[in-house]
Amino acid sequence: MTAVQERLRDECRRLLESKEVDVILGYQRGTLPLRSAPLFARRPEDVERMIWDETCENTVSVYIPRLRGSRVGIVAKGCDGRWVVEYITENQVSRSALKVIGVPCDGVLSRRALEKVAGLRTIYEGHLEDGHVVIQGRGWKERVPIQEVLEPSCKTCVQKSSPIIDVDLGRVESPNPKGDFGDVAAVEAQEVDDRWDLFAQEASKCIRCYACRQACPGCYCKVCFVDRSKPTWVGGTDDLTDAMVFHIMRAMHLAGRCVDCGACEKACPAGVNLRLLNRKLEKDARELYGHVAGLRVDDKPMLSTFRPNDPGDFIM
């Protein structure tokens, strides 16, 4: 057990025993190699299952709106902490009802990257070892530097530590707090028809399973627009037009709110490049309105404020 994990368990046990919180959102070992699962620790003995390492890929902040009325502790990496800030600024949760346990995060493992290393081979075992990931199956073994198999969202992360922390277990500075939007700029440089073709190509992969919506902490509406029937905003098929409308409207709902945690893309079984569209709006929010989501609890939601010098040339 690492020193951070030992301290994490001690602090979580203390919070539950002192009844400062009713439940702590964290991580436990999953049933597959190098995978974790969310842990809802409600009793001090539950903490014995809690872990913290590069396998803790899930964005557990997604469960906070479902725990209204409870005092919630959360094991927060940078992206989870930014979603906590978003919930506070959007009045979805009271700051006083939260205990944020900040953990040092330098990125989490990408399941797809590991599968790419394995190729057609099945991974039966895996573990972390001196900055490397060791995976193995029947008759083969690979040792890969962790930095080579991180989630894509971790490679462009601008906030590796939670912006708000009540229990500090360590922090990691982001090497590029202004963000790297080179991939978005490359698409912006394309002709309009080419950009549309790229979007259509990605949307055509969508099977409308809504895994992206379910995994996204920003999608907490009681009734999603795609499920409304009076009026019907979008058809319920996997027709390309319906898929494109779904992704455009969902991206607009997340404009100025998305913290680029990558939960949508990790959950997508079809491999749709969902972050590209969301990051385009994240880039616009930065450049047009100077807004970065999830950093300050005293910020107002971007689309809830107005400044006289805000860009208005899009208004007819």
Model pLDDT, residue 176: 82
Q: Cis ω on the peptide bond leading into residue 231 (within 30° of 0)?
A: yes
Give the helix ranges, DSSP H, for 123-232.
152-155, 182-188, 192-203, 211-215
Sign of the torsion formed by the C-alpha atoms of 116, 238, 184 and 220: negative
- pLDDT category at 313 given cuts 50, 70, 90 is confident
- Alpha carbon 84 to chain centroid, angstroms: 11
Closest of 271, 270, 269, 266 to residue 36, by C-alpha: 266
- Alpha carbon 75 to chain centroid, angstroms: 14
Instruction: Output 279 or 307, whichever has higher pLDDT.
Output: 279
| Beta bridge partner(s), residue 27 | 38
Model pLDDT, residue 1: 66
Percent helix, strand, coil in the chain, to 5, is 40, 15, 45
CB atoms within 10 A of CB 221: 12
Cα–Cα distance for residue pair 41/101, rounded to 1 Å: 13
Give the helix ranges, DSSP H, for 43-148.
78-89, 111-118
The pTM score is 0.93
Answer yes or no: are the C-beta atoms of 93 and 100 closer than 8 Å.
Answer: no
Cα–Cα distance for residue pair 253/262, rounded to 1 Å: 16
Give tens-digit pLDDT for 165-176: 999 999 998 888
Answer yes or no: are the C-beta atoms of 66 and 23 closer than 8 Å.
Answer: no
CB atoms within 10 A of CB 232: 11
- pLDDT category at 303 given cuts 50, 70, 90 is confident
Give the helix ranges, DSSP H, for the chain.
3-17, 78-89, 111-118, 152-155, 182-188, 192-203, 211-215, 240-253, 263-267, 274-289
Average pLDDT over all residues of the chain: 94
Cα–Cα distance for residue pair 20/208, rounded to 1 Å: 41
The mean pLDDT value for 51-61 works out to 97
81, two tokens: 């902490």
Give tens-digit pLDDT for 220-274: 999 998 888 888 888 878 899 999 999 999 999 999 999 999 999 999 999 999 9
Cα–Cα distance for residue pair 112/123, rounded to 1 Å: 12
The mean pLDDT value for 47-70 works out to 96
